[in-house]
Amino acid sequence: VVFVPGLGSFPDTTWQKPSVMSGKLVHNTSWIDDFLPLDLPQARLFYFNYDSTTYNDAPAKDLGDIADEMLFELSMTDWGDSNEVRMRLHNPPIIFVCHSYGGLVVKEVCLTLSVRKDMKHRSLLNSVSAIMFLGTPHFGTPYASYARALALRLHLLGSNPDIFLPLYPNSTFLQKQHSEFLKHFSWLRMTNFYETKGTVILPSWLSFPPWRVIVPKPFATFDAPKTENYGLDYDHSGLNKFNSREERGYRTILYVLRATAKTIIQAHQTGGGMYFTWHFFQACRLLICR
């Protein structure tokens, strides 16, 4: 399972839930490090951490640059615990769990893999088995213009305002990316989780109500043959932060992870795997086009 954060995240805290009263972390609990090894012991857990700062000393890179960075790290990763694992699961299945912008990064990685011809990248393509999106702005966000306006004001601090351009609602870039992604990967098992609570983005004296849903349901969900959409009662930042094994959000995500892992492992054990599925899907698509 590979965890991919969104913009403005910090590797040490992005998957940890802060205390509402103090803003401090509750016992530095990470649901990935502390809960998942107990509840999903058969999985190996990986983080992809990238410099996602946007307002201060931000790197001058875009979505494609981050996707290339992730693809390089994936190609350098040893996925198997042992030779026995590699023999049993020739290409150990990968489940991506992405928060916000991280989902767009993973979609870009998948699109790159779909056109690579070398064995290393074909092997990775065969491993991609499922994606869980947490508040991913597949079709942008109504507040991209606000984020970019703030970044423009902070340009003297080294901000990167252009990284927000593709996130404008129904931008040409996102429409093309999503169309190409579904053309190649609609057969993937995918789950979209969307936020049902707003985030305070302006003081109450400037805006009433002061909270807004950053990525509303229509922007965070889509329909595909093996895709499901679920709402979680969290704000945008809270979609990937839990501090209890009994927390409803964690239990929901764990349930989907377990069910997805079980289905994928059964598919690999019966033969074929995802690479065969991808080739079969592509062949059918070509025949239909003819």
Residue 94 in this model has a pLDDT that exceeds 90: yes
pLDDT of residue 283: 39
Tokens standing for 164? Answer: 């927000």
Distances (CA, A) of 7 to 137, 188, 199, 259, 290: 12, 25, 16, 29, 42
pTM of the model: 0.86
Q: Is domain 2-289 given the CATH code 3.40.50 in the classification? A: yes
Residue 206 in this model has a pLDDT that exceeds 80: no
**Per-residue pLDDT tens digits for 135-185:** 999 999 999 998 899 889 988 888 888 999 999 999 999 999 999 999 999
**Per-residue pLDDT tens digits for 47-84:** 999 988 888 888 889 999 999 999 999 988 876 554 44
The number of beta carbons lying within 10 Å of the beta carbon of residue 45 is 13
pLDDT of residue 70: 96
Q: What's the rounded Cα separation, in Å, for the pair 34 and 247?
A: 14
220 versus 12: the higher-pLDDT residue is 220
Mean pLDDT estimate for the chain: 85
The number of beta carbons lying within 10 Å of the beta carbon of residue 209 is 9
pLDDT of residue 289: 38
Top-confidence range, 64-68, 207-211, 262-266: 64-68
Do the strands 199-200 and 211-212 form a parallel or antiparallel pair, or are they unpaired? Answer: antiparallel
pLDDT of residue 185: 96
Do the strands 227-232 and 16-18 form a parallel or antiparallel pair, or are they unpaired? Answer: unpaired
